Amino acid sequence: MMKTPITVSVTGAAGNIGYALLFRIASGSMFGPEQPVNLRLIEIEPGMKALQGVIMELDDCAFPLLNDVVATSDLEEGFKGANWALLVGSVPRGPGMERGDLLKVNGGIFTGQGKAIAATAADDVRVLVVGNPCNTNALIAMNSAEGVPNDRFFAMTRLDENRAKSQLAAKGGVHNSDITNMCIWGNHSATQYPDYTNAKINGKPVTETITDTEWLQGEFISTVQQRGAAIIKARGASSAASAANGVVDTVRSLTNPTPEGDWTSIAVCSDGSYGIDAGLIASMPIRVDAEGNWDVVPGVELDAFSKEKLDATVQELRDEKAAVADLL
Q: What residues line the site for ligand NAD (CB under 6 A)? A: 11-12, 14-18, 42-44, 47, 88-93, 109, 130-132, 134, 156, 159, 188, 238-240, 243, 246
Ramachandran assignment for 126, one of left (phi > 0), alpha (psi -120 to 50 degrees), beta (any other)? beta
Length of the chain: 328
Q: How far is the CB of 167 from ligand LMR (least distance, A)?
A: 14
Q: How far is the CB of 56 from ligand NAD (least distance, A)?
A: 16
Cβ closest to ligand LMR, residue 69 vs residue 129: 129
Cβ closest to ligand NAD, residue 9 vs residue 198: 9
Cβ closest to ligand LMR, residue 129 vs residue 286: 129
28 annotated among ligand-binding-site residues = no
Within a 13 Å sphere around the CA of 138, how many CA atoms are in the beta-carbon half? 32
| Residue positions annotated with a catalytic role | 188
130 annotated among ligand-binding-site residues = yes
Residues that bind ligand LMR (CB under 6 A): 92-93, 99, 132, 159, 228-229, 231, 238-239
Q: With CB cut-offs between 5 and 8 Å by kind, which of ligand NAD, ligand LMR, none does residue 43 bind?
A: ligand NAD
**Which residues participate in the annotated binding site for substrate?**
93, 99, 132, 163
**Which residues participate in the annotated binding site for NAD(+)?**
12-18, 106, 113, 130-132
